[in-house]
Chain A
Amino acid sequence: MEITTTEYKRCDVVKTIGRIDSYTAPELEEALTGLTDRGRYKLVLDMTDVDFMSSKGWWVLIETQKNCKRYNRGELVLTGVQERIRDSLNLVGMGSYFQIYDDLLSAVANF
């Protein structure tokens, strides 16, 4: 799995490439915690090149979302979520906790 973080004026974009499972989820957690620990709470996760996501990955995002939304200081939004991943997210019922944008530009513009 590959993770790159780009800081924009209004938010940070975290781009993840690969498969997010119980083995790789801690890397994603580290990247996201690295941002929230520095007071960066407006985050976009670009999942265009994520082709697998297990519930372990979703829990990392849920914990990040809790942290970001606390005191209304920000939010974690998602973009580029592949259909089958989006389906499993909605099936398990976690979909309502995230705003999902079709493209990166709209996700960034949300902030």
Chain B
Amino acid sequence: MATEKFPGRFESLAGIRKFVSAAAEDAGFDDKEIYAVELAVDEACSNIIEHAYGGEGKGEIICTCNDISNGLEIVLKDNGVKFNPAEVAPPDFSIELEKLKPRGAGLYLIHQMMDDVAFKFSSESGNELRMVKRKVN
């Protein structure tokens, strides 16, 4: 298990990706799977900064990587406002270009990239996002 704290700023994203990609590599994932983990975590942390904290420099992101028997579990914690995934409509990319609104793609990508995605909130500890990536073989 490895845990690291990052300031809730967009410039932290590169360091967070590096942290989780090293864990994914150690867990034995291939390049494509490592990229999927990096992308899911990047999208999740961008959402934390933008939506849970409502901007940069408002709090920390605590990232934990746990080796599990058939893959990797990543837990992200923040102390921002409650995130309710049910309130985020999935993006509709069947509509014409002019009508596209920039929202919802991050959460959708997270679900596509990871095998398990679970959000939890408590007033004491804030938001917790648990994601699992499993090995194919």
Q: How large is the interface on A (under 10, 10 to 19, 20 to 34, 35 or more residues)?
A: 20 to 34
Chain B positions within 8 Å of A, measured between CB atoms, are: 10-11, 13-14, 17, 31-32, 35-36, 38-39, 42-43, 46, 49-50, 91, 93-94, 97-98, 100, 102, 105-106, 108-109, 112-113
Known: A19-B17, A21-B42, A62-B97. 16 other contacts (CB 8 A): A21-B13, A22-B42, A22-B50, A52-B35, A52-B42, A54-B106, A55-B43, A55-B109, A84-B32, A84-B35, A88-B36, A92-B108, A93-B91, A93-B94, A94-B93, A96-B93
What chain A residues lie within 8 Å of B112 (beta carbons)? 88, 91-92
Q: In the complex the two chains form, is B91's CB within 8 Å of A23's CB?
A: no
Interface of B (DSSP majority class): helix
Q: Give the docked Cα–Cα distance between A62 and B108 (Å).
A: 17
Contact B17 A94 (CB under 8 A): no
User: Do A54 and B43 have beta carbons less than 8 Å apart?
Assistant: yes
Number of A-B contacts defined by CB within 8 Å: 74
